[in-house]
A and B are shown apart, each in its own frame.
Chain A
Amino acid sequence: MKWYKVKKLFFISSLLLLILSSILLIPVFSSVFTYYPLVVSLQPVPPPIVLQDPSVPGVSVSLGSEWASASITVLLPYSLVISQDAIYYTTFDSGLPTNWVDPALACWTGSATAWVGGSITCSAGLAYQVAYYNTPIVSNTLTFYVGAYVMSNDLRAGRYVGITLYDRVTGNYYIAAIGNSNRLNILECIAGLCFLRASTGNLGLSTNTWYFLVAYWTPNTLYAYLYRTDTGALIGSTSYRDGSPIGFNTVGVVAYRARGWVDELVVAYNDPRNVYVDNVPSGWVVRLYNGTVLLGSATSSGTRISFTVFYPQDGQHSTILRSGRIEVYDSYGSLRASRSDVIVTGRVYILQPQGFDNRVLNVVNVDSKPYYGLLSLRSPPSYSGFSTLQLYLCNPSTCSTALDIIAGSSSTSEIALPASQISYIRLVAVFSSGASASIQIWLSFSTRPGQDGVVVSYPVDIVLR
């Protein structure tokens, strides 16, 4: 092809392209655009609603720097209550209590030789010297324990010092006693005659040494256990089953042909070597004190905690802690419950959740006009162990409907936040031991009812444990 023919073709193509472009460009520049000015002026003001710590025990509040946000930690309240008490106990610190009967006329008297405090002692001859509590407290249809520290100056054959299960009507009784050639023995006494029903072998017992003796009755068998008081070790045990049991109704002490001492008598439904604490969440710590002396500390694994406190003889360990105190700490080390008490072994304490119904955050309107507030969930809550978990927004005269976490509601109703007054967020919780929750909410307030006008939202985080 000749070069001028190529140029001609190029010329024609360019011309067509120019025409096409012109056609395409016509609509682009055919429109009309109208411009309206719009100015948004922002004039920030201090928060008209500020948050405030209500100073409620167990509620700690961390506020944002301008009181427009809050993180709340609620330590759910617990108390230590007795769920199973001892049936009876006496320290014998003042000798034989006035409500005890000593038919032998003052054989059993007070003694300074004691496990702790004072004890009772009796130097018995050829008669069984019994003193008993003059009130029906047990029966042969019950299962129970009797524990006491016992000591004898004579452990030879036919000598006994121990405790009794006594029938106040007939005068019949069982005996669990040390003696009779260093043995642990069970005797049955009917109409003034006592029969040896069971005994261990020679246990190598020592005179004038404190032992801890436990009589355990479960229909219709009497068990006897003997423990060392220096190591707590079991020395020996024996039992006697009675097809026609004595109809005993109280407990007592006994000595025969020996001088005996008895101290710290405890009657309970549980082993009198221990103090028990139930319902403590896993990971929490329980401490047991007598006065300022720490006798035991245990970390819960979710099951019953027991403290064995019957030994050694140091003036603090005993089956009756005269200045007892139990403290329960959560896994963060916060003290959650405590109880000062005369603590008796065999008793069961339970860590019992208390209901919570209190304000957790104040909402203060510092403006001179009312606002309209409500609470709403900011994210799905996490919780466990609650049967009731509700949040309310309250003003001085009324509360909103509940933001009911358990029922799954997502917001409260709206209430007025009156000018220059303190409203508040109220928490209602019913829970079981170890309950915890994490809740993120908005506190929203508006200038007009119905969350209209301008709505301001403050983040509020609530942790319950």
Chain B
Amino acid sequence: MGNKVKREIVASIAAIVAVLMMSYAFASVFVYYPVNVNLSPVSPPIRFLDGSNANQNDLGGGGSPYASNTIGVTIGSDGASLTLTLHPTKQHNYYRNVSLIQNTDGKAYYITIRVNTAASLPSGSVARLLIYDRPSGGAKVADVSLLATGDTSATATISASGTPGSVWRIDLYIFIPEGSTPSATSANIQLIYSPSNEAPPNPVPPS
């Protein structure tokens, strides 16, 4: 190593030490930059709606006078939450068009379905949330087991308002084998939407 190099190293160390000393000397100085966050709430661009069978007769019932069970569909006042209450029986149950998902915005959104808490049914049971891209018929865009946690991929796109595919339909398929003794159970799910095609962060919002 030559003398020239040694000199450069010594000079560099001296400069760093000088900077550190100066920083310490001026640490009590604060500089304030203004940052404004403007929140302009908008109506939910994606809304839950009643399906054609919302609150119609479900299986079973009772009481005197008799009252039928109903396909319970409860939607939050702004269409931003949904609770389904169903009364399946043994064998194969298919609930058709219990709720709709509508895009009221002029742009498409990417939809992810996340099961945070799975339902619990007897071994051999099946419970699936099925979403189709039309109120009637259409292509299946999501098929989610309610008996396991996890996300769908965020590739399903709900079309912009006024275009085909802007209203989706929610069906459910439930199979409970004969001879089992199921209890009431529920699955907690999130419908997550975003204007961009990305996996949603986890966990959001903070619980």
Contacts and interface: CB of A to CB of B under 8 A. Distances in A.
Interface string B179-201: 10011111111111111101011
Nearest to B196: A31
What are the 8 tightest A-B residue pairs by CB atom distance, in nearest-first order?
A45-B60, A38-B189, A41-B186, A44-B182, A457-B92, A368-B66, A65-B179, A64-B178
Contacts of A64: 90, 178-179
Interface of B: 5, 8, 44, 46, 48, 52-53, 56-61, 66, 68-69, 71-72, 80-97, 113, 119, 121, 127, 129, 146, 172, 174, 176, 178-179, 182-196, 198, 200-201, 204-205
A66 B82 CA distance: 32
Interface stretch (A150-158, A324-332, A423-431, A447-455): A447-455
Contacts of A40: 84, 86, 119, 127, 129, 146, 172, 186-187, 189
Contact of A454 (B96, B178, B204): B96
A454 B91 contact: no
A42 B61 contact: no
Contacts of B190: 35-38
A37 B53 contact: no
Contacts of B194: 31-34
Given A41-B184, A369-B68, A455-B94, 15 more contacts: A31-B195, A33-B194, A34-B46, A39-B84, A39-B189, A40-B129, A44-B176, A45-B87, A46-B89, A367-B61, A369-B61, A447-B57, A447-B59, A454-B86, A454-B93
A47 interface: yes
A104 B179 CA distance: 85
Contact of B88 (A27, A42, A66, A69): A42
A33 B83 CA distance: 21
Given A36-B46, A39-B186, A368-B61, A456 B178 contact: no
A367 B179 CA distance: 20
A456 B93 contact: yes
B84, B92, B113, B191 interface centre (most CB from chain A within 10 Å): B92
Contacts of B56: 447-448, 453
Given A31-B198, A33-B193, A458 B184 contact: no
B191 A456 contact: no
B204 A456 contact: no
Nearest to B121: A42
A43 interface: yes
The secondary-structure label for the interface of chain B is strand
6 contacts: A33-B192, A33-B193, A43-B87, A47-B90, A66-B90, A456-B92
Given A35-B204, A454-B53, A458-B91, A66 B189 contact: no
B53 A33 contact: no
Interface in A32-78: 32-48, 64-66, 68-69
Contacts of A37: 81-82, 188-190
A28, A38, A40 interface centre (most CB from chain B within 10 Å): A40
A37 B56 CA distance: 22
A35 B113 CA distance: 10
Given A367-B60, A453-B57, A39 B89 contact: no
A452 B94 CA distance: 9
Nearest to A443: B91
Interface in A299-334: none
A39 B198 CA distance: 24
A348 B24 CA distance: 123
